[in-house]
Amino acid sequence: MADSNVTNPPRRTRETRKRRPPELEVQPPPKAAGDTETLARGAEALLREHPDALVAGLASNGLIVPVPQTVGLWGQGLIEGRAVFDNVVAADRNTVTRMWVDLRKEGATTGNVRMLRRPTAWMKLHFIDLLEIHGIVLAVLLPSDEEGEDPVVAEEQVRAAPRFSTLIEDEGARVLDCDPAFTEMFGYELGEMMGQSVLDQIHPDDQGRAVEGWLTVLSTGRNQQTRLRRRRKDGSWMWVDTTLHNYLNEPGRNHVLVEIIDISAEMHAQEALKDREELLRRLTNAMPVGLLQLDDARNVLYNNTRLLEILHGPDGAAELIAEAMPAGTTSLAGSAVPSEDADEAPCVSLDHLLGTLTDESRDQLDTALGEVLTEGADRDIEVDVALSTGELRQALFSVRALLRESGEVSGAITCVLDVTDSARARSELERRATYDTLTGCHNRSSILSALQAELEREGSAGIGVVYVDLDEFKPVNDRLGHAAGDELLVMVAERLAHASRDSDLVGRLGGDEFLIVLRDMPSSDVAMPVAERICGLLATPFELSCGEVGLRGSVGVACAQSGELGAEELVRQADAAMYVSKGAGRGTPVLADADTPPVD
């Protein structure tokens, strides 16, 4: 970038008067595009008031040109270089651009900028359109000691190396001439280049393309563009775009003009992007989670190998990869990559990917995807996966929306975890917390919780409970052992389940006591036959592995309507009725009523 090179022309003779100190916030000249005389007078006043300013004449294209003598200067220093734009720090160049664009309609524009030679201080820049009178746009920079609130790091105070240069070559691709920009870009002087073959300066890997482009220009006469690397004098390589113009056999020319554009920054950015894509690709394929990227139309943009293994098993994943096109696979951006990247999973259609989900799980996932893609919501959903081997596994889909800068949903990214082992462990913990480990029926806590929920359920037709206590159970334990007792309890639980309805719940309160919750039981007239059936089944001998044993049950029944009682109170009533049954000793059920004495 060009620095502010300042020269000081002689001061004009003028009356000595008191100067105003330079200020940052000076009122700009009037912004009347059509009143050129007013603009000229405003410019003259500005220059008179600020002899310590920096000025430059600008052509209509923005390049610096000499300030004509018709513009009266008062000892101001001149800004030299290519353009004012080059002298401003990068962060403020948009300001200069906007000022220049607005100048066409305003006639004069003003803005605060920081210069390369002093990047921590603000200066006031004026553009004044004097083209009709003096043939220039006048740029005026007013100095200031005011420090910027967010100082920028000083940039290198040298003019930026050019990005465009030209060579002139003969029909044998030998150098005839070059412009100064070529010398700056590559470090060679014209004397070092004259008569030399340019092929020696082209990277060996690019020489084939260079020769092909040269022959095409010679044979067709059409311009030819080639992207290649040229060697600098220091031995480094620069990526350039070259355009060959065939002027051979033209009067006064007889040469090939080579236009060269420096694209090294672009190529470095592309190489850095490729490096990041390769790193990301390696990471995603090494991760223990499945990854799935969709666009807003549910097209698969990316999936890794682990996703295939989770949803189809190792063998199924291998089959899917084998079925993919051998010509290549798909990268994260959906572009083709060489087939030697064998660890890159091919993109598979969404229907094929999710083909192993159970119907219920697929419906749930489709609903979740719809919410993510339409509402931008985040969803986590656990699904069942039925592998071709018959194994049933569980996977957790964490679906997250991808948003554009505008906030619009552009797609979704999904992480998929195989949670089969944790799901099974969780299921086992839930089972142990809910069911009796010996009999498989509900344990005390879960049966009482279920009863309380039923009592609170709206729309219930009524609830009945049957409290069962096994008579003559202790002698079985004492005589035949605890193993026989456990076997008998399992058989009792099975008979209780057989005697009750499918909607009823059977629970073990502890020891030899059981509780049956009768759902939607309108009255005791319906509950008592169930209890009598239970008594009959318990009176039937049990065939244990050690022989036949007889048993009898004491049974109490209590009924209530929804909202009348709590679970503990209803069970207490049934328990009291059970003791009445036990006292009778006939193995028949007893219905609790208001006169049934409570059990201490």
pLDDT at residue 536 in the model = 92
Q: Is the CB of residue 38 less than 8 Å from the CB of residue 32?
A: yes
34 and 109 housed in the same domain = yes
Where do runs of H (alpha helix) occur along 107-252? 131-134, 180-186, 190-193, 207-220
Domain end residue (candidates: 422, 444, 463): 422
506 and 553 housed in the same domain = yes
pLDDT at residue 320 in the model = 80
Predicted confidence (pLDDT) per residue in 507-530, tens digit: 999 999 999 999 988 888 888 999
Q: Is residue 149 part of a domain?
A: no
Residue 15 confidence class, pLDDT cut points 50, 70, 90 = very low
Distance, in Å, from the CA atom of 380 to the CA atom of 398, rounded to the nearest integer, reads: 4
Residue 89 has pLDDT above 50, yes or no: yes
Q: Is residue 442 part of a domain?
A: yes
180 and 230 housed in the same domain = yes
Question: Between 338 and 54, whose confidence is greater?
Answer: 54
Residue 160 has pLDDT above 90, yes or no: no
465 and 510 housed in the same domain = yes
19 and 70 housed in the same domain = yes
The span from the first CA to the last CA of the chain, in angstroms, equals: 99
Distance, in Å, from the CA atom of 321 to the CA atom of 306, rounded to the nearest integer, reads: 12
550 and 472 housed in the same domain = yes
> Global pTM?
0.47
Distance, in Å, from the CA atom of 97 to the CA atom of 62, rounded to the nearest integer, reads: 10
Residue 17 confidence class, pLDDT cut points 50, 70, 90 = very low
How far lies 241's CA from each of 196, 210, 260, 263, in Å? Answer: 20, 11, 6, 7
Q: Which two tokens stand for residue 414?
A: 């999904």
- Facing residues of 384 across strands? 394
Cite the beta strand spans of 367-462 per DSSP E: 379-386, 392-403, 409-418
447 and 570 housed in the same domain = yes
Residue 380 has pLDDT above 60, yes or no: yes
Question: Between 285 and 373, whose confidence is greater?
Answer: 373
- Facing residues of 123 across strands? 113
Q: Is residue 281 part of a domain?
A: no
Residue 95 has pLDDT above 70, yes or no: yes
Q: Which two tokens stand for residue 563?
A: 């909202």
Q: Is residue 568 part of a domain?
A: yes
Distance, in Å, from the CA atom of 502 to the CA atom of 402, rounded to the nearest integer, reads: 47
Sign of CA dihedral 441, 445, 448, 450: negative
Q: Which two tokens stand for residue 373?
A: 């893609």
578 and 462 housed in the same domain = yes
Q: Is the CB of residue 455 less than 8 Å from the CB of residue 563?
A: yes
Residue 599 confidence class, pLDDT cut points 50, 70, 90 = low
Residue 135 confidence class, pLDDT cut points 50, 70, 90 = very high
Q: What are phi and psi of 334, to 5 degrees?
A: 85, 5
Residue 287 confidence class, pLDDT cut points 50, 70, 90 = confident
Strand order in 224-231's β-sheet? 175-178, 164-169, 256-262, 237-246, 224-231
320 and 447 housed in the same domain = no
Q: What is the number of domains present in the chain?
A: 4
Q: Is residue 47 part of a domain?
A: yes
Residue 324 confidence class, pLDDT cut points 50, 70, 90 = low
pLDDT at residue 513 in the model = 94
Helix, strand or coil for residue 137? strand
- Facing residues of 197 across strands? 174
362-366, long-range: CB < 8 A, 24+ apart = 365/397
User: For the domain that residue 169 is a member of, what is the CATH number?
Assistant: 3.30.450.20
Residue 252 confidence class, pLDDT cut points 50, 70, 90 = confident
Which residue in 112, 92, 108 sits closest to 100, CA to CA?
108
Predicted confidence (pLDDT) per residue in 409-462, tens digit: 999 999 999 999 888 888 888 888 889 989 999 999 999 999 999 999 887 888
> Quick one: DSSP state of residue 21?
P
> What is the average pLDDT across 41-47?
92
- Facing residues of 466 across strands? 516, 557
Distance, in Å, from the CA atom of 141 to the CA atom of 4, rounded to the nearest integer, reads: 11
Q: Which two tokens stand for residue 50?
A: 């600020």
- Facing residues of 258 across strands? 167, 244
pLDDT at residue 90 in the model = 87
Helix, strand or coil for residue 327? coil
3-state SS of 417-432 is: EECHHHHHHHHHHHHH
268 burial type by CB count under 10 A (0-12 exposed, 13-18 middle, 19+ buried): exposed
Q: What are phi and psi of 516, to 5 degrees?
A: -110, 125
| Mean pLDDT of all residues belonging to the chain | 85
Distance, in Å, from the CA atom of 568 to the CA atom of 451, rounded to the nearest integer, reads: 9
pLDDT at residue 412 in the model = 95
pLDDT at residue 392 in the model = 92
Distance, in Å, from the CA atom of 241 to the CA atom of 224, rounded to the nearest integer, reads: 10
pLDDT at residue 8 in the model = 46
Question: Between 527 and 320, whose confidence is greater?
Answer: 527
463 and 578 housed in the same domain = yes
Q: Residue 52, Cα to own-chain centre: how many angstroms?
A: 54
Residue 332 has pLDDT above 70, yes or no: no
Residue 30 confidence class, pLDDT cut points 50, 70, 90 = very low
Residue 355 has pLDDT above 70, yes or no: yes
User: For the domain that residue 519 is a member of, what is the CATH number?
Assistant: 3.30.70.270
pLDDT at residue 150 in the model = 55
Residue 43 has pLDDT above 50, yes or no: yes
Question: Between 252 and 495, whose confidence is greater?
Answer: 495
pLDDT at residue 345 in the model = 65
Residue 543 confidence class, pLDDT cut points 50, 70, 90 = very high
Q: Is the CB of residue 442 less than 8 Å from the CB of residue 501?
A: no
Question: Domain range spanning residue 170?
Answer: 164-262
pLDDT at residue 288 in the model = 83
Q: Which two tokens stand for residue 322?
A: 């084998």
Question: Between 33 and 437, whose confidence is greater?
Answer: 437
Q: Is residue 267 part of a domain?
A: no
471 and 583 housed in the same domain = yes
203 burial type by CB count under 10 A (0-12 exposed, 13-18 middle, 19+ buried): middle
Residue 108 has pLDDT above 80, yes or no: yes
Predicted confidence (pLDDT) per residue in 192-229, tens digit: 989 888 898 999 999 999 999 999 998 988 899 999 99
178 and 83 housed in the same domain = no
Q: Is residue 64 part of a domain?
A: yes
Which residue in 441, 483, 471 sits closest to 551, CA to CA?
471
pLDDT at residue 148 in the model = 60
> What is the average pLDDT across 269-274?
89
pLDDT at residue 449 in the model = 93
Beta carbons within 10 angstroms of residue 36's beta carbon: 16
Q: Is residue 184 part of a domain?
A: yes
Distance, in Å, from the CA atom of 569 to the CA atom of 592, rounded to the nearest integer, reads: 12
> Quick one: DSSP state of residue 174?
B
User: For the domain that residue 93 is a member of, what is the CATH number?
Assistant: 3.30.450
Predicted confidence (pLDDT) per residue in 407-424, tens digit: 999 999 999 999 998 888
